Amino acid sequence: MTGFFQRNGIAISTYLILAVVFWVVLMIVLPQAYMLDFSFRNNLPPAKIGGPEDVYTLSNYRYLVFGSPGSADAFNYLHLQVFLRTIIASIFVTLIDFALCYPIAYYIAQVAKGGFARSMILLLILPFWVNEILRAFSFRILFGTSGVINAVLQSLGIVDQPIDFLRADVALYAGLSYAYILLMVFPLYNAIESLDHNQIEAARDLGSPWWRIHWRVVMPHAKPGIASGCTLVFMLSAGALAAPQILGGPSSLWFTQIIYRWFNTGGNWPQGAAYAIVLLLACLVFVLAVMRLFKISLGEIAR
Amino acid sequence: MSADVELDHVTIRFGEFTAVKDANLKIEDGEFFSFLGPSGCGKTTILRAVSGFLEPSDGEVRIGGKNMRGIGPNKRPTALIFQNLALFPLMSVADNIAFGLEVRGVGKAERRKRADELLDLIALDGQGDKKVGELSGGQKQRVAIARALAVEPKVLLLDEPLSALDLKLRQHMRTELRAIQQRVGITFIYITHDQGEALTMSDRIAVMSQGVVQQIGTGSEVYENSQTAFVASFVGENNPFTGKVAAVDGQHALIDTSFGRLRGRNLRGLSAGSEAMLFVRPESLGLVNGQGAADNVIESTVLHSEFEGSFFSVFLRGDGGKDIVMSMTNSGNLPEFHEGAAARVGFRADRAVVLPVGEVADE
């Protein structure tokens, strides 16, 4: 610790420590601790807060699993189903993004040269200057029953009736995949870019077909980048609100939308907090399990 | 098992730039053949054309008589050893060596057996389970060779593989490489800018400059009978004297220089009147005492001298900006060379070559 102060000087050291403490405590730990606390409380009107009914309870969590005590079903099928679907759909979005971004990242990092690679990166970034809501609604225009894609398909005579992309969740998957594409491209690009091109050529020279070069040389090298890209996309997809709200079909509910309703229209913050905590923990457990499976440490993701 | 490699009028262009101009040569079966030249002379380009990473713009590369056009690097009977080795750091030593076999669908047990055999060959037995990062520079070098040999190539291509090693190890690896080549008996094509490597290991050497193959021959041919000014100045040290051919006398040519008329072997059949350069090596120069009967005598002054252990270099004022270098074996009774002292040095006409004026390698 004294070494740290000596190296950086008193002023900078103090600033660094305060900044990190501020960041961790005020921005991360405190709000989440409040949410955690909320999730174990009853939903009471302001007058009763601090009163005899203000006790810790598991009822909010119980509600997610078993539904309201008076309901006929043994479990809260609706919400559990939405929860599961959100997780699975987020895995899908992650896989779609990986499949889309890996070739792009590989191309920019190892094949394209200089100016062309830079302009490709710029082309990837530019669309994200448009805000999220606008992008989501423009996807509605694109995928709507009277939208651009249907108009083209119909005028080419490929379909007679417009396809309802919104109902089929195509628009939702497209919108979510698109929303987080950069978070996949850049970690992948960084990881692949640091691979010595000679290794690719060496593998090729030893007779390797292209897919094995990727499987045995490029992907193992890029594993930390793949892990960090997939983690980001999965977490953010599972926690997305705008895209599911705007692009989701009428029957498809995203778990975040339920959380949003508890907080907002439902006015039941403890219930919303409990749902949000469950989503957070589920995502964490899932990501850690996958990392365990692929033998990746947290430190590698931060590389 | 092995195969010859032919470059049939190979020209390689990158846009406007011609990297290799009309290379036309045949590398024999089982030969240790080096391409020697300064960086940017096109030697690596030739290697990439043989390995299949690029196609010649004109001409043909043939391996074992078969035209290689359109055949990718993964389908050619060649294996390349990269300058930085390009070992796979995430695989074990044995997995590195067996990678080519894994690609060919060889089973795990068989792969391991072959890897162990090759580890024996490179004197690293029992180290197959180590990570590549745990090996020393020389060991990595040998693993790279074993990895290339594992696929049983007909031609092994080496792109300056020793340049990253320190001097001692480099000299040791020269002997080792040569020994491995003789054991496996396949064709080696070796790229280097280090004439010492080329001279000690190769059966034959092609000296290149600016995309042109200047001369092909054994080490001593290239050194003793350099055919161009570039070869004479690039391979080993040489003292150039520029002038005009005054007369031709049998095998010799006489050339008028700022040091008077000098005589050397007329290797390229120059005729009287043509611009020429005479080259004489530092070790061919010697002191002339009194009225010595040397073919050629140069009067100059001593600039300085350097003691280099087994020999002694004396720098004399030369023609233009370049000093004349004379090296003398340390026989124990050398005279002292005082700065500014007059010196008469001479050399035999048979030890000098007269060549057309041309590009001279800069040191």
Q: Is the pLDDT of residue A137 over 90?
A: no
Tokens 């180290």: give the residue. Answer: B127
**In chain A, what residues touch B86 (CB-CB under 8 Å)?**
196, 198-199, 201-202
Task: Say if A119 is an interface residue toward chain B (CB within 8 Å).
Answer: no
| CATH 3.40.50.300 applies to domain B5-224 | yes
Q: Residue A149 burial by CB count (10 A; 0-12/13-18/19+): exposed, middle or buried?
A: middle
Q: What is the pLDDT of residues A102-127, one digit of tens each?
A: 999 999 999 987 788 888 888 888 88
User: What's the token pair of residue B53?
Assistant: 């990473």
**Minimum CA–CA partner of A219 in chain B:** B90
Does B2 score more than 70 pLDDT?
no
Q: Are A18 and A31 in contact (CB under 8 A)?
A: no
Per-residue pLDDT averaged across A212-220, rounded?
Answer: 94
* Confidence (pLDDT) at B320: 65
* Mean pLDDT value across residues B121-136: 89
Residues 148-207 of B with CB under 8 A from A: 148, 151
User: What domains does chain A contain, in order, with CATH numbers?
Assistant: 70-301 (1.10.3720.10)
**In whole angstroms, what is the distance from residue B195 CA to residue B202 CA?**
10
What are the E-state strand segments in chain B? Answer: 5-14, 17-27, 32-36, 58-63, 66-67, 78-81, 155-159, 187-192, 204-209, 212-217, 239-249, 252-257, 260-265, 275-280, 286-287, 296-307, 311-316, 324-329, 342-347, 352-356
Q: What are the sequence ranges of the domains in chain B?
A: 5-224, 229-356
Long-range contacts of A108-115 (CB under 8 A, 24+ apart): A108/A189, A109/A188, A109/A189, A109/A192, A109/A193, A109/A195, A110/A192, A110/A193, A110/A195, A110/A197, A110/A200, A110/A218
How far is A127 from B113, CA to CA, in rounded Å? 55
CB B270 within 8 A of CB B245: yes
Selecting from B82, B86, B103 the residue whose C-beta is nearest the C-beta of A207 gives: B103
Find the CB nearest A208 among B74, B83, B87: B74
Which residues have CB under 8 Å from B335's CB, separation 6+?
B287
Identify which of A166-170, A218-222, B296-300 has the greatest average pLDDT: A218-222
pLDDT digits (tens, 9 = 90+) for B62-97: 999 999 999 999 999 999 999 889 999 999 999 999
User: Tokens 């969590």, residue?
Assistant: A61
pLDDT tens track for B200-234: 999 999 999 999 999 999 999 999 999 999 999 99
Give the neighbor-by-neighbor strand order of the sheet with B296-307. B286-287, B342-347, B296-307, B311-316, B324-329
Q: Distance between CA A180 and CA A95 in Å, rounded?
A: 12
Residue B36 Cα, gap to closest chain A Cα (Å):
22
Give the position of tokens 């037995």. Answer: B125
Q: Measured between alpha carbons, how far is B242 from B249 in angstroms, rounded to an integer?
A: 19
Which of A63-67, B63-67, B172-176, B191-195 is predicted least confidently?
A: A63-67
- Give the pLDDT confidence score for residue A165 in this predicted structure: 82
Question: B293 vs A50, which has greater pLDDT?
Answer: A50
- Of A214-218, B146-150, B178-182, the poorest mean pLDDT is in B178-182
Predicted local distance difference test score (pLDDT) of residue B258: 87
Q: Can you tell me the mean pLDDT for B19-29?
A: 93
Q: Which of B236, B161, B191, B263 is nearest to B40 (CA)?
A: B191
CB distance A207–B148 less than 8 Å? Answer: no
Q: What pLDDT score was predicted for residue A143?
A: 86
CB B11 within 8 A of CB B18: yes
Q: How confident is the model at residue A296 (pLDDT cuts 50, 70, 90)?
A: confident
- pLDDT tens, residue by residue, A1-56: 678 878 888 888 889 999 999 888 888 888 888 888 888 888 877 777 777 777 78
The pLDDT score that the predictor gives to residue B57 is: 95
Centre a 10 Å sphere on the Cβ of residue B272 and count the other Cβ atoms it contains: 12
* Domain B229-356 in this protein, CATH class: mainly beta
Contacts of A212 in chain B (CB under 8 A): 103
For residues B142-148, give the mean pLDDT. Answer: 92
Supply the mean pLDDT for chain B: 90
pLDDT surpasses 60 at B292: no
* ipTM reported for the complex, 2 dp: 0.81
Q: In whole angstroms, what is the distance from residue B323 CA to residue B308 CA?
A: 18
B354 near B278, Cβ under 8 Å? yes
Report the pLDDT value the prediction gives residue B291, as an integer from 0 to 100.
61
